[in-house]
Amino acid sequence: MATFFVKQRADEQWQFNLKADDGSTLLLSEGYTTKSACMNGVESVIKNSVSEGRYDKAKNKGGKWYFNLKAGNGQIIGTSPAFADESACDEAMASVMSQAGDAPVEE
């Protein structure tokens, strides 16, 4: 089961990461100015992660695959790490879709 990890970064902004059981990162958030806003971001991931249409997959400038998860208003709420091949990206996206809804939150 995946887990959300919420932490305050060195720049004092809040961020969440969704990690798989093996510790690999599935999704990273932007920085938030408050913990409350960060927790709202977690809730938005939980809500939107089940909708396949909320994901955009693309290649970065280095040719690696990644995806963004977007809210209903089109705002990016999470970005995956870069993957060497498309199948690994697809697997990570499927993991977010199937596991984010039940993922516990650790602070």
What's the confidence (pLDDT) of residue 95?
A: 96
Across the range 1-22, mean pLDDT stands at 96
Query: 85-96, pLDDT tens digit by residue?
Result: 999 999 999 999
All domains of the chain, ordered by start, with CATH?
Answer: 3-106 (2.30.29.80)
**By the 8 A CB rule, do 43 and 72 touch?**
no
Distance (Å, rounded) from C-alpha 24 to C-alpha 78?
15
Distance (Å, rounded) from C-alpha 67 to C-alpha 90?
9
Across the range 18-27, mean pLDDT stands at 95
What's the confidence (pLDDT) of residue 38?
A: 97
What's the confidence (pLDDT) of residue 10?
A: 96
Query: 32-86, pLDDT tens digit by residue?
Result: 999 999 999 999 999 999 999 999 999 999 999 999 999 999 999 999 999 999 9
